[in-house]
Amino acid sequence: MPFNFDAPVNRSNSDSIRWDRYAGGDVLPLWVADMDFQSPPCVINALAERVQHGVFGYTHATDSLRSEIARYLEVHYGWEVDPDWIVILPSVVSGLYTAVRRLTTQLEYVLVPQPVYHHLRLACSEGPRPYTEIPLELENDRWVLPWQTLDSFCQANTKLALLCNPQNPGGTIYTKTELLQFANFCEAHDLLICSDEIHAGLVLDNDARHIPIASLDQRISMRTVTLMSLNKVFNFPGIGLAWAIAENPRLRSAMQTDLHRTIADPGLMAYTATIAALQDGEPWRQALLSYLRGNRDYVAERIQAMPLLKAARVEASYLAWIDCNALQCADPHALFLASGLALSPGAQFNAPQFVRLNFGTQRALLEQAMDRMALALASIKK
Ligand SMILES: Cc1ncc(COP(=O)(O)O)c(C=O)c1O
């Protein structure tokens, strides 16, 4: 295999949020969602070449970047996007906060799935905007929205629905039928949609595919802002570039309001990394998916052997959402940490009886992590 995901990488002294928090202790940090893999060689080489140039003046998002993004969306999702619909952002998080603030007024409600990546909810609470959480349900081993009762979460002044697809945490990839159901619901209540699709490139099952909700139909597209980025899949969130896609000029202009003002432009390395990944990253991405699939299956197997824990099948991403309810433990995160394993506490996602495990790491390290998890469980049985 031309790419070796088993190669150990030392991330200490690299200003890593994930590794620095527990530096100096014997803790395996499988929390924040970045991976312990080097980015693809095409990205590293492009960055090295850019550094050699040595002049780091003001840069801009070129038309060719937008055209490359549009080409990528057509190739991967069969989605025809006009490059003019694309708004370049430094991060998906800045896009979430912009969407909530600029697409609603202070009295309008936002719908937010629960659990969900915390910034979807924080974008509302800090907006501040009133919001209603829609609890996900476990159906056939998948975390899904409660399709039959969606209407009950809507009120007269609900304006915007946030979607996370693929879902973090939970790892669900919504099917075409499910997305149509959600879109019909939004249409019936005249809601705008902001769909965070940052995990789109991390679909693990060979027979599954990511469908951007805006690609379903032009009517849906006209009420949707889609947020995407290659930060996750090519593992360069520390460089950071994202984009919003809005066919509707009114929504697009709302997403542009804060650019170059309170929202800084992406750094120039972000353009270099993103273009390299768009053009030449596919063989690496395929190899990554194959490795992550192995890690996903390994984690599932180990969790199955721990009767007090449950985890739904992870269809996409490298994040396992682990149900610790049966442990009857006040703080599962603290329990695992005491055995040297740092996970994301479920409380971050408004679900304190869960933990989220990041399996985007070398298999050998993951094996140690799962041993520590078993050790933690053994400690409470005594
Ligand atoms: C669903 C989701 N959206 C956004 C982000 C963060 O994106 P960015 O680093 O581009 O702000 C993450 C990171 O974990 C995520 O899982």
Strand partners, 111: 132, 161
* 55-280 belongs to CATH 3.40.640.10: yes
Instruction: Tell me what pLDDT residue 381 has.
Output: 65
Task: Decide: 34 in ligand 1 pocket, CB within 6 A.
Answer: no
Q: How far apart are CA 180 and CA 61, in angstroms?
A: 33
Instruction: Tell me what pLDDT residue 380 has.
Output: 87
Instruction: Tell me what pLDDT residue 95 has.
Output: 98
DSSP 345-375: EGGGGT-TTEEEEE--S-HHHHHHHHHHHHH
Q: How far apart are CA 357 and CA 342, in angstroms?
A: 8
Residue of 16, 117, 172, 359 best suited for mutating to test ligand 1, as the one with most atoms within 8 Å of CB: 117
Instruction: Tell me what pLDDT residue 2 has.
Output: 84
**196 Cα: distance to centroid of ligand 1 (angstroms):** 8
pLDDT along the chain (382 residues), means of 10: 90 96 96 98 98 97 97 98 98 98 98 98 98 98 96 97 98 98 98 98 95 98 98 96 98 97 96 98 98 98 97 98 96 97 96 98 98 95 61
CATH architecture of the domain with range 17-41+282-381: Alpha-Beta Complex (3.90)
Q: Say what the pTM is.
A: 0.98
* 164 CA: nearest ligand 1 atom: 1
Q: Which residue has the tokens 């469908």?
A: 211
Two domains, one topology: 17-41+282-381 and 55-280 = no
Within 8 A by CB and 6+ apart from 160, the residues are 99, 100, 103, 104, 108, 109, 110, 111, 191, 192, 193, 194
**171 Cα: distance to centroid of ligand 1 (angstroms):** 14
* 319 CA: nearest ligand 1 atom: 16
Domain boundaries, the chain: 17-41+282-381, 55-280
* 242 CA: nearest ligand 1 atom: 10
- Quick one: tokens of 81? 């996007």
φ, ψ for residue 193 (rounded to 5)?
A: -125, 135
Phi-psi sector, 207: left (phi>0), alpha (psi -120 to 50), beta: alpha
Residue of 232, 233, 235, 314 best suited for mutating to test ligand 1, as the one with most atoms within 8 Å of CB: 232
| Neighbour count for residue 284 (Cβ, 10 Å) | 23
Residue 191 identity: L
Within 8 A by CB and 6+ apart from 251, the residues are 103, 192, 223, 224, 225
> Is there a cis peptide before residue 166, judged by omega within 30 degrees of 0?
yes
